[in-house]
Amino acid sequence: MKFWSKSSRIRLEYNKKGKQMADTLKKLQCPACGKEMEKVFIPSQGINLDICTQGCGGIYFDNRELNSFDEKNEDISKILEHISDKNFVDVNTALDRHCPNCGTKMVKNFSSINKEIEIDECYNCGGKFLDNSELQKLRAEYDTEEERSEDVVRHIYQQVGQELAQVDERYSRTITDRSICQKIFYKLLGL
């Protein structure tokens, strides 16, 4: 559920717990390098992104904002304007990070079944933090969300298919073993 206030450029959403969330103009600290993040208004989406333009080049996406920029056909030119031709500091990606929006410890998850790009996610407010250049890498993985979803389904079927084959093999062995025991049993009984 979304509500827009065009005059203040604030978008309101409800998170998974039903708490109202706002894409506000409050300044955030980068979870990777600690520098103040710059608010970048994206007119085509009507949202403010938080980009660490003076530190590591990371990007913080409020709840569900990443969905507006993760496909190749979606415009990221405004983002690229703010990060192109800059030298960013290196950060230790193994360190724990805390959500710049709500302060909750973020969880590292892979962006897809390929397990190549690890992003930081906040399970409390739904925010996501991508290190420098991870947005471009994420967009290069798949053309569309449908392709990403099909890859997940294909992987699951492959895994489940292997497990089902193993279960079927064990069942067949059990039936075979059982029929040998039954034959012996019947011979003992004289049947």
Same domain membership, residue 135 and residue 171: no
Same domain membership, residue 114 and residue 36: yes
Over the stretch 73-118, which tens digit does the pLDDT of each residue have? Answer: 888 999 999 998 899 999 998 999 999 999 999 999 998 888 889 9
pLDDT at 26 over 80: yes
3-state secondary structure of 67: helix
Same domain membership, residue 150 and residue 112: no
Same domain membership, residue 165 and residue 137: no
CB 30 within 8 A of CB 100: yes
CA distance 13 to 1: 6
Same domain membership, residue 38 and residue 99: yes
Domain boundary among 143, 158, 177: 143
Same domain membership, residue 150 and residue 70: no
CB 147 within 8 A of CB 124: no
DSSP H/E element including 141: helix 134-141
Q: Report pTM.
A: 0.71
Same domain membership, residue 185 and residue 99: no
Q: In the chain, what are the helix, strand and coil shares in percent, each to the nearest 5? A: 35, 20, 45
pLDDT at 13 over 70: no
Domain boundary among 143, 164, 181: 143
DSSP H/E element including 140: helix 134-141
- Bridge partner list, 121: 107, 128
Count: domains in the chain: 2
Mean pLDDT value across residues 5-34: 60
Percent residues over pLDDT 70 in the chain = 85
Same domain membership, residue 101 and residue 33: yes
b/e map 1-26, b = 16+ CB within 10 Å: eeeeeeeebbbebebeeeeebebbee
Dihedral sign for Cα 78, 83, 85, 86, please. Answer: positive
Between 179 and 97, the more confident residue is: 97
Question: pLDDT category, 8, cuts 50, 70, 90?
Answer: very low
The full DSSP string for 144-189 is SHHHHHHHHHHHHHHHHHHHHHHHHHHHHHHHHHHHHHHHHHHHHH
Same domain membership, residue 81 and residue 153: no
Same domain membership, residue 181 and residue 113: no
CB 129 within 8 A of CB 106: yes
Residue numbers of the domain that contains 178: 144-191
Same domain membership, residue 64 and residue 99: yes
pLDDT at 30 over 50: yes
Q: Considering the chain, what is the average pLDDT of its residues?
A: 82
Same domain membership, residue 149 and residue 125: no
**Tokens 């994206």 identify what position?**
42
